[in-house]
Chains A and B, each alone.
Chain A
Amino acid sequence: MLVTASAWILPGLIALTLLAAMARGINVYDEFIAGASDGVRLAVRLLPHIIGIYVAIGLFRESGFLAWVTRLSAPLLVPLGLPAEILPLVFIRPFSLAAAMGMVTNILGTYGPDSFVGRLASVMQGNSETTFYVLTVYLGSVGIRRSQYAVPLCLLGDVVGYLASLWMTLLVWGR
């Protein structure tokens, strides 16, 4: 059910978008090209990030260090059901979107997009935010220095989001 409905959201939204735009007499092709150019520019800026993350994660994994960390953290992670391969993503996600995208790309490429880790990484990427970037930029833009309980509360949201992602992934696909 969840899977079928998911499959329809994006195609439905694209069709709806085009119909609404045509009804308003918008030159859809020109607008598409203008947006696509922005997309290309963004993706080109991401390239160095992705290469940098691939090298770092590759060394971390191929050296056997990841396997060691996995064994070491198993007593802590296994009860939660969280695979160790996901840890670098969990730590980097609140700080950098580009780095997180590099990590997700790497996880999907290494373990496959339809593996358990691959699905979990996709769901996490889909519902988390670059928390520290948002906090720094938004608070900095109005010159606020005392943020009270905003930071711990935002981090609580991240942690709950990660656990909820894990739970939903297990619920929909199992292990």
Chain B
Amino acid sequence: MVSIIWAVLIISGIFWAGLSGNVDLVTTTIFSQATRGLTAGLELIAITAVWFGVSRVAEKAGLLTGLARLVTPLLRALFPSIPPGHPSLGSMAMNLTANLLGLADAATPFGLKAMNQLQELNRQPDTTTPAMITFLVMNSACVTLVPATAIALRASAGAAEPSVIILPAALASVIATATVLVADRLLRRRLFGLR
């Protein structure tokens, strides 16, 4: 899919330039844009290094486990089909907390573990359970308190205040998450007759 979008952008650009008698522009654009991309990418290395360094310290300091403990009671309400104390609740808490802090790399291993533990409760191993769907939609709607990537990109582009987007982004993600959770609950009730 990425291939198609990428190719469409290039091919349409080349034909458009050609049809409007500007085909020379293609070559100059390729070189100038590749150079600009390189510069932008190099600046990104610096800011990614800082953010990854800080988030590693945060992980080691136990910020993740501490927050996850606060999240767990909330999860019990969102996943009524999982027996209390099931290990999947812990993994999901860690995954969602890591997402909340913008630690995408830390989130994935916990997410995979949670899926494995949810699969143990699954009586039809080739089909999603209601709990899995809830977990997947929460993951893709992605409640984020610290959108680290976006802040890093803004900082390396020289924004006056790179982090001003934190609260708008967090509120937007809360709106999206609330919407999918409500939709999920309605669908679950209709299709499975579950709470």
- Report A's interface with B, CB cutoff 8 A: 2-3, 5-7, 9-10, 13-14, 16-18, 20-21, 24, 26, 28, 31-40, 42-44, 46-47, 50-65, 68, 88, 91-92, 95-97, 99, 101-102, 104-106, 108-109, 112-114, 118-119, 122-123, 125-129, 131-132, 134-135, 137-139, 141-150, 153-154, 156-158, 160-161, 164-165, 167-169, 171-172
Contact = CB atoms under 8 A, between A and B. Distances in A.
Contacts of B82: none
Contact of B172 (A6, A14, A164): A164
B72 interface: no
Contacts of A2: 167-168
A34 to B, nearest CB: 6
Contact of A127 (B17, B49, B105, B147): B147
B78 interface: no
Tell me which of B127, B160, B166 has the highest count of chain A C-beta atoms within 10 A of its own C-beta. B166
B150 to A, nearest CB: 4
Given A56-B6, A63-B22, A134-B139, A6 B163 contact: yes
A122 B153 contact: yes
B117 to A, nearest CB: 10
Does more than half of chain B's interface fall in helix, strand or loop, or is it mixed?
helix
Contact of B44 (A43, A92, A128): A43
A20 B130 CA distance: 38
A156 B140 CA distance: 10
B141 A92 contact: no
Interface residues of B, number: 101
A14 B54 contact: yes
A34 B176 CA distance: 35
Contact of A160 (B13, B111, B179): B179
Contacts of B141: 129, 154, 157-158, 160-161
B193 interface: no
A114 B160 contact: yes
B14 A63 contact: yes
Contacts of A3: 161, 164, 167
Contacts of A55: 10, 29-30, 33-34, 37
Given A92-B5, A122-B169, A35 B176 contact: no
